[in-house]
Structure 1
Amino acid sequence: MKRNILMLTVIFILAFTLTSPAMAENVFRWASQGDAVTFDPHSANMSPTFLQLKQVYEPLVSYNWKIEKEPYLAESWRLVDPTTWEFKLRRGVTFHDGTPFTAEDVIFSINRAKGPGSDVKEPLKTVKDMTIIDDYTVRVLTNGPNPLLPDFLTQFFIVSKKWCEKHGVTQATSWKGKEESYAVRHANGTGAFMLQLRDPDIKSVLVKNPNWWGLAKHAHNIDKIIYTPIANPATRVAALLSGEVDYLLDPPLQDLPRIAKEPNLKTQQTPQLRTIFFGLEQRLDELRSSNIKGKNPFLDPRVRKAMHMAIDIKGIQKKVMRGLSVPANIIVPPGIYGYPKDLDKARPPYNVEKAKKLLAEAGYPDGFEVNLDCPNNRYNNDEKICQASVGMLGKIGIKVNLVAQPKSLHFPKITNHKTDFYMLGWGYAYPDAHFNFVNMMHSESAWNGGGITNPRIDELIDAMAMEIDQQKRDAMIREVFEITTNEQVYLPLHHQVIVWGMSKNIEMPMEPRDEPQFCWTRIVK
């Protein structure tokens, strides 16, 4: 009898111990409107994809939530001479499969990121050669002085050479070409979390990396992360209100008051390093989707200026964005080095009659027809912004046919140069105007979807990447802003404001690029 009582006591104690709060698994559940397009770390230059990749993979140099540069897989770096950077690598780091991280992986990763299928080539275009000094020292030779190279390197992730060779993924997998490979659904990084399950557009599961080198600095308490993409805004909010998820990256703006009123929930907001704008085809002599044949209306700056003037951006700010945006006249937001406040504040007033007059002067008194490609699961109220703009442009005689699609279908139209008129929002891997210019303005960039081609702009962009005289470099940045603003090469809409909705037991600093790293997060019981 006593033996039975003792056994029951032991069983009770074990059961209590295993289910006690001290032993409970901390699961962080989050959602947003659209999933990463791939888990190949060199395949897609898009913020939602970077957000998920950076939980698993790491760069040599990174930024914290204050946008301050800090060492990651490189412990230090220095200029050996004007065209040679030396990086001292972090010792004792292993990939998730246990393979040691060495200089060989750095060389392989840079070559992979510069090669076929990669969408992160631009920041590495000045890299001419690389040398391994020892297992933990790498020298990078550039084709001219490049004072921004450490900043450029924050944009690409290090992969394991052995893992890539083992699984036949030595080249990046082209998401634009809808290619499949082992790296699209599997991962082997050095980061704070390990990919356990990847079911695209359904669910992704990450688990804590117990061997992460950064645990001493970022002592998070998350054991598992479950991500669920929820496209429908009402369903997304319902998931937060019901407690099915702990954090929404992009709560619908109209539901923010409702979320804030909930006793167990909170909202946080901050200006984002992202500008929303429209791009226009300026490469072709005839638009694909227009009723105007034999010429391209967008090649005339008067047409572009008329369209810019016809968009009531303050109306969009008030009615569509509910005050959570800042009207823009350039496609670079405050907080980015080189930002010209005077040009940004010089947006022409909304004026339908003046816009009509400009169109008539350009030879289009009756307007014209064109398709507008717009994402419907990427930016705050993206499709609603496009719908409002369609109506506004209609007032000056431009019949816009809206084509709203998920970002997985929308973005390849831009990068493959298959769109006449499109919405895009550009964020920042590093907080310098050069990042915008090299991607949005350079004639060789895939993300220059409108085909803007100006030899002087290309010359300035290439030169500012290598200029070490800050005064001269500032003058180059200013000249690019003046050229692109005067010629109205894009139609800026607004600088976006980040708003998060989350449980009150989540502590997480806001990151102005809207790419939080969950190793900064704590779940408070």
Structure 2
Amino acid sequence: MKATSFRAAVGAAAIFAVVHADPAAAQALRIGVRAALDVADPASSYSPNRNITLQIYEPLLLQDATLKPVAGLATAWRMRGPNTWEFTLREGVTFHDGTPLTAEDVAHTIARNQATETPLTYKSDLREVVSVEAEGSRTIIIRTRTPQPQLTFSLATFGIVSARATRDAKPEDFRGKAALGTGPYRWDQWTPGQGVTLTRNPNYWGNQPHWEKVDFRFVPSDSARVASLLAGDLDVIDAVPPGLTTRVEKGGNTHLMSTTAIMMIYLQLEMGREQSPFVTDETGKPLPRNPFRDLRVRQAFSQAINRGAIAERAMEGAAEPAGQFMAPGLDNHDPGLKPVPYDAARSRALLAEAGYPKGFHMTLACSNDRYPGDAKVCQTLGQMLGAVGIQTRVETVPISILFRRRSAAPDGGPDVAAFMAGYGSPNGLATSALSSLAQTMDRDRGRGGNNYTGYSNPDVDRMVSEAEAEPDDARRVELVRQATRQAIGDSAIVPVYFTKAIWGLRRDLTMTPRADAFTFADNIRPAR
């Protein structure tokens, strides 16, 4: 993936926690982030939480800037057989309390993640793991139910915790006695809604972390976050919104860095119900049949969206039109699969062909505090849909409320006809995105975890499962491509755009932009 300043190229990718400057120059770093940490437990896969916790708890393997696995707590790995992986632990690694990292800690962490029942976890990534065993002091054997040739990608997503400290840990313990990782920074203090303070781990296994103290401040207001950077009250901020990039670029002591991120903004259309109470005629009466069960209607919906205009105008160039699950430069992006073209006339024709010449009325729900420009984009989408006859009431709410609304209706489905959300595969794999968003929802099997539409296609289910277990790279690529084209052709989701992750920094600081948009303190350095 090409990492760029907002208008110019920057240097090649660096790996988190590998390159370090002279510790004598260490100082406090103040980072302003848009989304707040809401759970300190590293078993939560919600991205804002991972942004903080992955600096305390390291995965078995780290991820480079394009989310490919690289050496971390494990220095070597190989497949012994179709269902068996071998990992060699790094020597001399200790937790923040000085106790050594062992195979037991790795086994405990995997089992703990598999057992977690709360939403937004890593359970689906570990669904095929059946055992984790120690073989000597530094060798770990992981056995899987089916072949998992890409297991290393999943093992790079979650931090390893101390078995001794977390065996019976409660959520609040991760603000204290259970907050023991192996990472470059240690847990210090969390003030919910305000910020988190981390301190340097002086016994880190790698080179000494550059910063002695890191303050993450939660600043949900875009204008306030930018103003604090320009005033010198913050050193780095994330999620610079499109409308404020010029202010940062022209600031006397600030500059921008960015990259196209893995986060895809998409729409889900509720198609599971035979009749939807959330799709009505002009009088507010539910239609006899849910229009979104008709592929022509879903196609009409997609063709009503001018993705180029959203990317260039609503997002002011801070987005790239999307037509699939993975952004350019990431795993299994298909260059031949282009975004659905905007065609209002064709959209109206498809609606008429499906029996809705006058369109219908519906509600579209979006977040207003999670993604840069999310509320503005939602209003723009409502206008575009209205122009073809799909009269859309737009509701923008905090992301926590939107998450609840996805399954808030009495039948367990969403309480709206459509909603806008974002998805970025934590392990960087297209198969994970397909499994989460397009496979038939099956909580027990860890399938379709974010498929709230009711979409189900046995062919897609099969191809995704086969791709996950396929050891031959070429064959796996073909299966992923087929599954992607089928799911997109079915309008299982409606991709809108890939976000550009944009940071504002003090002029004398630089960083390596990451595809996951995480702001890792030790990825930020004085500019040379």
**Separation in structure 2 between the aligned mates of residue 232 and residue 334 of structure 1, nearest angstrom:** 30
**Separation in structure 2 between the aligned mates of residue 277 and residue 397 of structure 1, nearest angstrom:** 21
Could you say which residue in structure 1 is the equivalent of 2:325?
331
Please state if 1:252 is matched with 2:249: no
Please state if 1:265 is matched with 2:254: yes
**Separation in structure 2 between the aligned mates of residue 82 and residue 382 of structure 1, nearest angstrom:** 43
Q: Is the 8 A contact 2:175 2:187 kept in 1?
A: no
Please state if 1:107 is matched with 2:99: no
Shift of residue 150 of structure 1? 0.9
Could you say which residue in structure 2 is the equivalent of 1:297?
291
Could you say which residue in structure 1 is the equivalent of 2:166?
164
- Structure in which a larger fraction of residues adopt helix: 1
Could you list the per-position Cα deviations for residues 473-524 of structure 1 after superposition, in whole angstroms to 9, with x for gaps in the alignment? 2221121122112212211111222221110122221112212322222246
What amino acid is aligned across from residue 502 of structure 1 in structure 2? Answer: L
Q: Give runs of aligned pairs for residues 383-394 of structure 1, distance below 5 A.
A: 383-394=375-386
Q: Is the 8 A contact 2:263 2:499 kept in 1?
A: yes
**Separation in structure 1 between the aligned mates of residue 198 and residue 402 of structure 2, nearest angstrom:** 27
The secondary structure found in structure 2 opposite 1:141 is: strand
What amino acid is aligned across from residue 455 of structure 1 in structure 2? Answer: P
Distance 1:145 1:375, change over 3 A: same
Q: Is the 8 A contact 1:220 1:521 kept in 2?
A: no
Shift of residue 471 of structure 1? 2.7
Q: Give runs of aligned pairs for residues 404-415 of structure 1, distance below 5 A.
A: 404-414=396-406
Alignment counterpart, residue 239 of structure 1, candidates 228, 231, 245 = 228
Q: Give runs of aligned pairs for residues 8-87 of structure 1, distance below 5 A.
A: 26-43=27-44, 45-65=45-65, 67-87=67-87
Could you say which residue in structure 2 is the equivalent of 1:19?
none
Please state if 1:507 is matched with 2:513: no
**Separation in structure 1 between the aligned mates of residue 313 and residue 387 of structure 2, nearest angstrom:** 18
Shift of residue 388 of structure 1? 0.4
Shift of residue 415 of structure 1? 6.9
Q: Is the 8 A contact 1:251 1:500 kept in 2?
A: yes
Structure-2-length-normalised TM-score: 0.87
Structure-1-length-normalised TM-score: 0.88
Shift of residue 366 of structure 1? 2.5
**Separation in structure 1 between the aligned mates of residue 324 and residue 191 of structure 2, nearest angstrom:** 38
Could you list the per-position Cα deviations for residues 116-158 of structure 1 after superposition, in whole angstroms to 9, with x for gaps in the alignment? 3251111111112222223322111111221101111112221
Q: Is the 8 A contact 2:102 2:137 kept in 1?
A: yes
Shift of residue 432 of structure 1? 2.8
The secondary structure found in structure 2 opposite 1:343 is: coil
Q: Is the 8 A contact 2:201 2:209 kept in 1?
A: no
**Separation in structure 1 between the aligned mates of residue 77 and residue 406 of structure 2, nearest angstrom:** 36
What amino acid is aligned across from residue 458 of structure 2 in structure 1? Answer: P
Alignment counterpart, residue 183 of structure 1, candidates 150, 174, 184 = 174
Distance 1:127 1:288, change over 3 A: farther
Shift of residue 66 of structure 1? 5.0
Could you list the per-position Cα deviations for residues 135-186 of structure 1 after superposition, in whole angstroms to 9, with x for gaps in the alignment? 32211111122110111111222111111125x34xxxxxxxxxx5433787
**Separation in structure 1 between the aligned mates of residue 77 and residue 52 of structure 2, nearest angstrom:** 27
The secondary structure found in structure 2 opposite 1:134 is: coil
Could you list the per-position Cα deviations for residues 73-118 of structure 1 after superposition, in whole angstroms to 9, with x for gaps in the alignment? 1121111222110111122222223332111111111111111325
Counting matched residue pairs gives 487
What amino acid is aligned across from residue 279 of structure 2 in structure 1? Answer: S
Alignment counterpart, residue 486 of structure 1, candidates 482, 489, 493 = 489
Q: Give runs of aligned pairs for residues 69-468 of structure 1, distance below 5 A.
A: 69-118=69-118, 119-165=121-167, 168-169=169-170, 181-183=172-174, 187-214=179-206, 216=207, 219-291=208-280, 292-345=286-339, 347-348=340-341, 350-414=342-406, 417-419=413-415, 420-443=417-440, 444-468=447-471
Could you say which residue in structure 2 is the equivalent of 1:5?
none
**Separation in structure 2 between the aligned mates of residue 232 and residue 138 of structure 1, nearest angstrom:** 45
**Separation in structure 1 between the aligned mates of residue 175 and residue 352 of structure 2, nearest angstrom:** 50
**Separation in structure 1 between the aligned mates of residue 334 and residue 90 of structure 2, nearest angstrom:** 38
Q: Is the 8 A contact 1:273 1:335 kept in 2?
A: no
**Separation in structure 2 between the aligned mates of residue 70 and residue 24 of structure 1, nearest angstrom:** 28
Name segments (4+ residues, structure 1) moved above 4 Å.
Answer: 22-25
Q: Which runs of 5+ in 1 are unaligned?
A: 1-21, 170-179
Q: Is the 8 A contact 2:363 2:393 kept in 1?
A: yes
The secondary structure found in structure 1 opposite 2:394 is: strand
Q: Is the 8 A contact 1:276 1:494 kept in 2?
A: yes
**Separation in structure 2 between the aligned mates of residue 116 and residue 204 of structure 1, nearest angstrom:** 24
Could you say which residue in structure 2 is the equivalent of 1:10?
none
**Separation in structure 1 between the aligned mates of residue 96 and residue 193 of structure 2, nearest angstrom:** 24
Q: Is the 8 A contact 1:259 1:266 kept in 2?
A: yes
The secondary structure found in structure 1 opposite 2:246 is: helix
What amino acid is aligned across from residue 183 of structure 1 in structure 2? Answer: F
Q: Is the 8 A contact 2:488 2:494 kept in 1?
A: no
Distance 1:405 1:188, change over 3 A: farther
Q: Is the 8 A contact 1:301 1:487 kept in 2?
A: yes
Q: Is the 8 A contact 2:325 2:484 kept in 1?
A: no
The structure with the larger Rg is 1
**Percentage of identical aligned residues:** 30
What amino acid is aligned across from residue 307 of structure 2 in structure 1? Answer: I
